[in-house]
Amino acid sequence: MEPAKQPERLCVGCREKHPKGELIRIVRAPSGDVSIDATGKSPGRGAYLCPREECLLAARKHNGLAWSFKGRVAAAVYDALSEALRARTEG
């Protein structure tokens, strides 16, 4: 019997596929708010990002979240994600 396949998702920063569980899901809610989805089940359009600062910088440089969300993303969103990523790696 074959082992169960792990779902893979594309990181919007490095543009590489990784197992879904290794990535951070960022969601744009129907209201337009962008946040980190800790449960992976929040409603809205999702994007995935590796938990590395380099991937966040690449996503910012190439507008990865805007591409994934099919709309503009404010610079403040990237700043907030950077802070959340730092807090996550430190704690």
Local mean pLDDT, 10-residue blocks, the chain (91 residues) = 88 97 94 91 95 95 95 92 86 68
Farthest-apart Cα atoms in the chain, separation = 48
Q: Which two tokens stand for residue 88?
A: 């996550």
From edge to edge, which strands make up the β-sheet containing 34-37? Answer: 34-37, 24-28, 45-49
DSSP string for 50-69: -SSHHHHHHHHHTTHHHHHH
Q: Which CATH number fits domain 8-90: 3.30.420.240, 3.10.180.10, 3.30.1230.10, 3.40.50.11900?
A: 3.30.1230.10
Q: Which two tokens stand for residue 53?
A: 């600062």
Q: Looking at residue 37, what is its pLDDT?
A: 92
- Residue type at 52? R
Q: Looking at residue 87, what is its pLDDT?
A: 87
Q: Looking at residue 55, what is its pLDDT?
A: 96
Predicted model pTM:
0.88
